[in-house]
Structure 1
Amino acid sequence: MRQAATRLVKTTVLVVAALGVAGCTQVVPGRPVAGASVAKGSVDPSFIKGTDGGPIDRLAATAITDVETFWKQSFPETFGKQWTPLSGGIYSVDTADKQAKPPPCTEKASDVEGNAFYCPSADAIAWDRAALLPVLQDRFGDAAVVIVLAHEMGHAVQRRMGITPEAERRDPARYPTILTEAMADCFAGSFVKWVNDGKSENLDIGSDTLDSALGALITFRDPVGTSAGDRSAHGNAFDRVSAFQDGYQRGTKFCADMSVENRAFTQKAFTSVEDRDNGGNLPFQEMLRLITPDLDAYFKSVVEAGGKTWTTPQTKATEQEPECSGDQGPIAFCPTGRTIEIDTAEELPELHAEIGDYATGVLLAGRFGLVAMSVLGVETKGEKAATSALCLAGAYTREVFTRGRGFGLSPGDLDEAVQVLLAYDYAARDGVGGATVGPGFKRVDVFRSGVFEGIGACGLS
């Protein structure tokens, strides 16, 4: 099995499970996604313990206030009883101040450094206003701060559902950490949909800021190679984004019903020492050499299942961005002769190095999908065609992910797919580069439909 990897570097989880804290920080560097302001108004942060009254705590106070309003409305509808406000309070911690008073579940202020968490024993939420929230705001915009706090409030919801640390210790198989984190991501997605629908008094998270929200969320993924069964696993980027989007689309009742029986996770550990040591990342040319015949075999089966004859498309290396059929990016489907041109000189190798080898895989899979559509007589121009091509890239990904042998996905690949889809629309451009799927939030969702549902979701009939 091929093993691919990411070049993103992990940091250390700052709050350990022994503290009983639902800490969710695992920030990794990457391409920032610009995010706009989401606050329509400003809430007085004086109810926050330890606040300095500054802009970051004002934004946090605004987010907390509206998340509470959301749950006052949604909790009775979801669980049939009234919402109970947090009894332990909200804490803002200046971790740069060695004399700062520590919040519950910690011994000193520095324990909060780089983190935001829910403390179930005290029913309290705390965050680092010096080294977390302003960093997220600077990289991803206000939406990042809102998402983090909505996620932590999701853990407070779980406590009110009876999912407590005691329950998790009694039955860890029923409440693994990766499941409770997915549920909190899902609850955060439901809240963002409520805001997006214009129901929030103080926040406005529109479609243009959803990409920054997801960009922030995937910075809290687990290190590549973490097993889904790890006691402290929080989820990879693909699983966390999936949970968030499920909450956004399907609501709080769906989130509350998540269980080990109905929730599958894609996160997996490395399968060999060699794989672990090299991160599994194939060099650019080797990735092209291995994935191209695999794509050819997969789409041949798709075409033949549709009653047509497949001819292996010719792939051509170019020294510049392909121009055979409009602006499709560094890989282009060329209708004449049904060929595929690949920029092997600059942009694609750079994306490969920056994000990982499956960024190359996703882009190439979408163009092979257009070849298959052309053979099957399916239109390759327009937004519907762009959607089908992207979905087909997801369907191919489903195939290689579920294989037991041969060319397959490795830890990190699905995360790389999410990253490239959020940052670029190349995999979602039609056969002439004139139509695309956007924003990134929607691209990820279309790709997911292929991953979870297969060819049947891709509109080929």
Structure 2
Amino acid sequence: MRGRLRGIRLAVPLLLSAAVVACTTTVPGEPVSQGRVISRDQPGGVDPKSVVENTDGGEIDRLAATVVADLRTYWGERFPETFGKEFTDLGGGYYSVDTADADAPEPPCTDSAVEVEGNAFYCPTADIIAWDRAALLPVLKDRFGEAAVMLVLAHEMGHAVQNRTGAGLSERRADPERFPTILIEAMADCYAGAFIRWVVDGNAEHLQFGHDQLDSALTAVVSFRDPIGTEATDRGAHGDAFDRVSAFLDGYESGVKLCSEMTVDNRTFTLSGFIDAGDAARGGNLEFGQIVESITLSLNTYFAEVAGSGWRQPQVRETEGQPACTPDRQGPVAFCPDGAAVELDVAEELPEIHDEIGDYATGTLITSRYALASLAAAGKPVAGPEAQRAAVCLTGAFTGSLFQREQQFLSPGDMDEAIQVLLHYDYVARDVDGASVETGFDRVTLFRKGFVSGARDC
């Protein structure tokens, strides 16, 4: 974050050839809760030999083939109603690549199997989708569950849809300013979100996926973000965590038509580069004490306007351990029920979260307690589901106000940090009694609502 001091990969493109839309990923982090996505009615899934070229017939290719089968059905339904013509399946097919074997057959658009390592890609000239069954899909499955495999393949199928609807390779080459990579990738993320919603709603023949499994899906999306400091105008930019999650949610909430209508004129991206060498050296982060000082003035100004005449500026008090005014209820940052203070645990958990995720994780947690203070000042409940949802939404609204400022206040990585703390901790949504919005997916959705629409919609 930039204060007064001025202080996820299905995301990094790898150009295998001029004709390849390729996505590669490193897979950081700890494993998250996993769940099977193949329906109990289809326990074995689809035989990969009936769908996949070069398959070994193993578990990963069976999962991939099952996802492909439902993707074919999905686009067979959605494509005509959105684009006014029938969907044609990939003419070149679907390729599994064993990158652990240097002598393995290479898929079209490559010179060797090794080139595919860590990748899944769509090649428009051959009209194929290929994936690394040794070093990508199984790693994603282990880290994020089978949902990550669904996401990757649904994203690549999104590129195939683009190639059939006027946003393919030839159009991008002819007008790169109209079709920058970051927009193309957002559309593919959006198409993936629309497909996942169709599965969640119980429409798929082979796949099943519950609302309670969506946290693992979003965690995978976050891991696919661009490296911090990437510019939105970079040739290979795919987006930060907020860009990618936001595109996914657009598809999930609104469907294919909205995805198809994305343009550089109606899409705003939060991905940004460092403003100077100092910002880059800090990784866009302020020290713990600096972020507390830096954000407080802006919070008071913003929430005084939101809450109106009843606003009382909370005193910021530091505690050694859990905040004393509501022990073990709100987490490491607490809004005191008497309305007089916001207390911070400066000895244990809050600095640990700051070090683990980044400075705007700290900023997001503090903002959520000011959001509760603004509810109290406006005479609204500070406990219960309404308060929980409003706390997250108002936190997003404040963050959106920082993004809209002419001076750069948010640093590269800040939006990533906000999304991560929302997914991995429920503190932002806790009311004064410690009750919270249950899923990270719902917390991120509420935050995005505030970010996009502002405080009035919270």
| C-alpha distance in 1 between matches for 2:238 and 2:149 | 18
Written as runs of structure 1 = structure 2, the 5 A alignment for 1:435-454 is 436-454=436-454
What corresponds to 2:430 in structure 1? 429
8 Å Cα contact 2:225/2:241 also seen in 1? yes
What corresponds to 1:242 in structure 2? 246
Written as runs of structure 1 = structure 2, the 5 A alignment for 1:405-424 is 405=407, 408-424=409-425
| C-alpha distance in 2 between matches for 1:28 and 1:94 | 18
How many pairs does the alignment contain?
449
What corresponds to 1:292 in structure 2? 296
8 Å Cα contact 1:386/1:431 also seen in 2? no
1:285-334 CA-partner distances (Å, limit 9, x unpaired): 1111211222122212222xx3x143221122112222523611111111
8 Å Cα contact 1:24/1:234 also seen in 2? no
What corresponds to 1:374 in structure 2? 376
What corresponds to 1:383 in structure 2? 385
Written as runs of structure 1 = structure 2, the 5 A alignment for 1:392-411 is 392-405=394-407, 408-411=409-412
What corresponds to 2:360 in structure 1? 358
| C-alpha distance in 2 between matches for 1:280 and 1:414 | 11
Q: TM-score, normalised by structure 2?
A: 0.95
Moved more, 12-21 or 438-447: 12-21
8 Å Cα contact 1:95/1:113 also seen in 2? yes
Q: TM-score, normalised by structure 1?
A: 0.94
8 Å Cα contact 2:12/2:236 also seen in 1? no
| C-alpha distance in 2 between matches for 1:17 and 1:102 | 12
Residue 312 of structure 1: SS of its match in structure 2? coil
What corresponds to 1:211 in structure 2? 215
1:393-441 CA-partner distances (Å, limit 9, x unpaired): 11110111121237x111110111111111111001112212x223111
8 Å Cα contact 1:88/1:122 also seen in 2? yes
Equivalent of 2:337 in 324, 331, 335: 335
8 Å Cα contact 2:389/2:429 also seen in 1? yes
1:34-87 CA-partner distances (Å, limit 9, x unpaired): 221111121100021111111111111111111111001111111111110100
What corresponds to 1:318 in structure 2? 319
Using a 3 Å threshold, how does the CA distance of structure 1 residues 14 and 24 change in structure 2: closer, same or farther?
closer
Using a 3 Å threshold, how does the CA distance of structure 1 residues 288 and 183 change in structure 2: closer, same or farther?
same
What corresponds to 1:455 in structure 2? 455
Supply the AA of the counterpart residue of 1:405: Q
Equivalent of 1:43 in 46, 51, 68: 46
Supply the AA of the counterpart residue of 1:365: T
CA RMSD for the aligned pairs? 1.8
Segments of 5+ residues of structure 1 without an aligned counterpart are none
Residue 116 of structure 1: SS of its match in structure 2? strand
8 Å Cα contact 2:99/2:135 also seen in 1? yes
8 Å Cα contact 2:222/2:245 also seen in 1? yes
CA apart distance, 1:162: 2.3
Using a 3 Å threshold, how does the CA distance of structure 1 residues 453 and 14 change in structure 2: closer, same or farther?
closer
Moved more, 393-402 or 320-329: 320-329
8 Å Cα contact 1:32/1:215 also seen in 2? no
CA apart distance, 1:11: 11
| C-alpha distance in 2 between matches for 1:159 and 1:199 | 25
8 Å Cα contact 1:177/1:231 also seen in 2? yes
CA apart distance, 1:31: 4.2
| C-alpha distance in 2 between matches for 1:96 and 1:122 | 24
| C-alpha distance in 2 between matches for 1:273 and 1:283 | 17
| C-alpha distance in 1 between matches for 2:3 and 2:137 | 34
| C-alpha distance in 2 between matches for 1:386 and 1:27 | 34
Equivalent of 1:103 in 97, 101, 107: 107
Written as runs of structure 1 = structure 2, the 5 A alignment for 1:150-229 is 150-229=154-233
Supply the AA of the counterpart residue of 2:256: T
| C-alpha distance in 1 between matches for 2:354 and 2:214 | 25
| C-alpha distance in 2 between matches for 1:338 and 1:57 | 58
Using a 3 Å threshold, how does the CA distance of structure 1 residues 94 and 14 change in structure 2: closer, same or farther?
farther
Identity %: 55
| C-alpha distance in 1 between matches for 2:30 and 2:361 | 14
CA apart distance, 1:18: 4.2
Segments of 5+ residues of structure 2 without an aligned counterpart are none
